[in-house]
Structure 1
Amino acid sequence: MSEHAYLPIEDIVGLTDAALEAGLADPSVRPLLLDGILPRYRGTLPLVAAPGRQVRSDLNEMNHVERLVDGSVPLDVWLRNAISQTAEAGPLAVFQQALDKVAREAAGEPDVPAGPLAGETKEEIINWDDTVPFEFLRGGDHAGTSVARIKVLPYRAGAPLQPNGFPHAGTGWLIAPDLLVTNHHVVNARTRSATERGIVDPADLLLQAQNSRSRFDYGADGTETEEVAASDLVAWDERLDYAVLRLTAAQPPRPALRVATEPLTVNRDQPVAVNIIQHPGGQPKRVALRNNLVYEADEQDIRYFTDTRGGSSGSPVFTDDWQVVALHRGARRVEDVNFQGKTTAFVNVGTQMSSVLRHLAEHSPGVHAEIAAAQSALAEQNGGEEA
């Protein structure tokens, strides 16, 4: 059994108790909890006569499996299924909290300092016109064609990582016609608490980028569209958590997304809604629209309430004009923050694109010039509006 464990033993005990309370220990429910996990792996799970012990056994086994050959995380799938089968508030909260931990760790999202944010809560919004032009939908549909699910296979010393070198999934998008941007931690392809955690050797990082596969047009119908390879990793930074990959010329032409060159600013009197097109869990494309207000912003980061999951890392964060203002990278724990009448323990975090562009201008001027040229071309196509 692998030394890796997503959750401490006390969390596994708590999940077992929550499953018993929610009636999920019934043997007839077990197939529903295992739905979506590779059948070959499901068949390796030991069978136990006592229902409660069966739940505990399943959780213990899955807790030590980092991911399967298809890139999925069995414990993540089980927890999502448990949430869908649970109505009671107590067990539901236990399952949701565990899923948050597993999803963040499986994605390899770096820890963010947990210091408290400013002790302000969002004011109630009254008589604010939340409607948008119908063309908003068309703009989102157009933007979505440039968003892809990316899978990255981990390498070590020039060879695929063994024995558990299964692909890590994230989201990427076109910032220029053949340049795809995602998180550094997506290309880094390491689970946060794994033995091999940390920043991989630059040569292996390049191999991981070159052997990545990006799938555009991967929608809810699950159509297996053609995957696009990358030829190079042209720029990256661990602190800002971004990476820029050059895609092969074989991909069909797609529009680059418009990128904000100035940082987004917010105040309590003028709330800003943001939208995220993403591939949570490496699954087909999903979108979180508008009921996702920005909580706080500074020169480097934007913090917001938009729903995301593991695999959403690297997603573009849009304002309502479908301009990318941030690169989504993860979540951070907060205190005394209220959203929609409820206290939230987390807000999501993205890196301001203006910070990424400044870093590129200083450290990768050639790449920055290529992006700037693509953005200028977009501005001309849009009647001269600022990109």
Structure 2
Amino acid sequence: MSEPYLPPDEIVQIKDAALEAGLADPSMRKLLLEGILPRYRGTLPLLAAPGPQVHSDLNEMNKVERLVDSSVPLEIWLRNAVVQSAGITAPLEVFQRALDKVTRNAAGEPDVAPDVPAGETKEEIIFRDDTVPFEFLRGGELAGTAVARIKVPPFQGGAPLQPNGFPHSGTGWLIAPGLLITNHHVINARTRTAAVPRVEVARSDLDLQVRGSRSRFDYLSDETETEEAGGAELVAFDEELDYAIVRLSTPPERPVLRVASEPLRVTPAEPVAVNIIQHPGGLPKRVALRNNLVYEADERDVRYFTDTRGGSSGSPVLTDDWTVVALHRGTRRVEDVSFQGKNTAFVNVGTQMSSVLAHLRDHRPDIHAEITAAQSPSTTRPADTWAQQPEVA
């Protein structure tokens, strides 16, 4: 990458925090590098002194945008450092602050609007365990057939981005037959840096990226090959709402997800649970059924305690009747927020689907009509296979 993720002074702060937390001990290096491709780990220089070794590792990883498996070495190191420094307040804050910045920039997530609280970043794990009726699982299985892992190759000037043009991973889902919705920043397929917080991608390159995208359905493990659909056309998008709709070249024969046309509203007295079907880290499909209460909602956003992480961008945020109420896009750092009697530093955030539909109605009425027509009982999955919930209003 042309610019490092973090400036030199922040790398020094991380190195000092590692020394303070005892992570510079040679025995800790293997734990800090756990999860990074072994072939890349072998290229890192070996030094005799612990402090310089940590500093060298950080400097080398800070130069690498992503590896061939789409992973970001510095992000993995920082996540490991957060785990290993649990309970050591000052170093933990340094690692977490750096992790926020790296994960946000690596995903190309756009800046928050001026009226949105600062600190909105990518995904984090929060807490909560919950139970639901057993039939809920059958509805979730049906809903999951509409969800895919999407990989998008970056292009620049009509050619694959060089030298590190590795695909960006995200999650998408069928909102109508042949139409897959995800985040705009997933389709944008760019890594942010401190020097270049927002990368302009020409519409012609966006179109090439969409045509080069691959959406893999039923990706439950790496053991078997499953259906994969290419992109044909970018039919609608908006950076502020962070959505993009792709027409697939070969429409998969499977039901689409039902979408809420009205915004989700919550009150402290009546919490609402949400669930997310996702491909975190570009890995096989997972579902978050725990830590899943909505924290607050307004006309545009829904904020919730539901576990996600990098690669979950674009996932459907579903109520317990498997209706999509929001398009997941990231995580926001918060203060003085309590969940299950504990303070949490994060809530996840998604765009209300009602806002997406309203934008489509005003700017792409043809696509809005196509989606509306697809929301009939014959197209969405059958309604009698999951636990019914009150209407979203």
**What TM-score bracket applies, with the shorter chain setting the length?**
0.7 to 0.9
**Residues 77-131 of structure 1, C-alpha deviation per residue, up to 9 Å, x if partnerless?**
22233344444443444433332221111111111146576xxxxxxxxxxx964
* Counterpart mapping for 1:50-65 below 5 A: 50-65=49-64
1:277 aligned counterpart, secondary structure? strand
Distance 1:222 1:22, change over 3 A: farther
> Take 1:101 and 1:223, find their aligned partners in 2: how far apart are those partners?
35
1:185 aligned counterpart, secondary structure? helix
* Counterpart mapping for 1:101-120 below 5 A: 101-113=101-113
Paired amino acid for 1:216: F
Distance apart, 1:379 and its partner CA: 5.9
**Residues 335-360 of structure 1, C-alpha deviation per residue, up to 9 Å, x if partnerless?**
43233334334322211111111211
Higher mean C-alpha displacement, 8-17 vs 320-329: 8-17
1:239 aligns with 2:240: yes
The match for 1:138 is: 138
Distance 1:131 1:196, change over 3 A: closer
1:40 aligns with 2:15: no
**5+ residue gaps in structure 1?**
118-128
Distance apart, 1:152 and its partner CA: 0.9
1:29 aligned counterpart, secondary structure? helix
The match for 1:285 is: 285
Distance 1:21 1:284, change over 3 A: farther
Distance apart, 1:67 and its partner CA: 1.2
| Identity percentage of aligned residues | 72
Confirm or deny: 8 A CA contact 2:130 2:291 kept in the other structure. no
Distance 1:220 1:27, change over 3 A: farther
Paired amino acid for 1:228: A
2:375 aligned counterpart, secondary structure? helix
**Residues 256-314 of structure 1, C-alpha deviation per residue, up to 9 Å, x if partnerless?**
11111111011111011111111222222222224222122111111222222222111
Paired amino acid for 1:100: D
The match for 2:67 is: 68
1:158 aligns with 2:168: no
The match for 1:260 is: 260
Q: Which has the higher contact order (CA 8 A, sep 6+)?
A: 2
The match for 1:275 is: 275
Confirm or deny: 8 A CA contact 1:181 1:243 kept in the other structure. yes
Distance apart, 1:207 and its partner CA: 0.6
Matched residue count = 373
**5+ residue gaps in structure 2?**
118-128
Confirm or deny: 8 A CA contact 2:229 2:252 kept in the other structure. no
The match for 2:123 is: none
Confirm or deny: 8 A CA contact 1:147 1:174 kept in the other structure. yes
With normalisation by structure 2, the TM-score equals: 0.86
The match for 1:303 is: 303
Distance 1:26 1:168, change over 3 A: same
Confirm or deny: 8 A CA contact 2:255 2:380 kept in the other structure. no
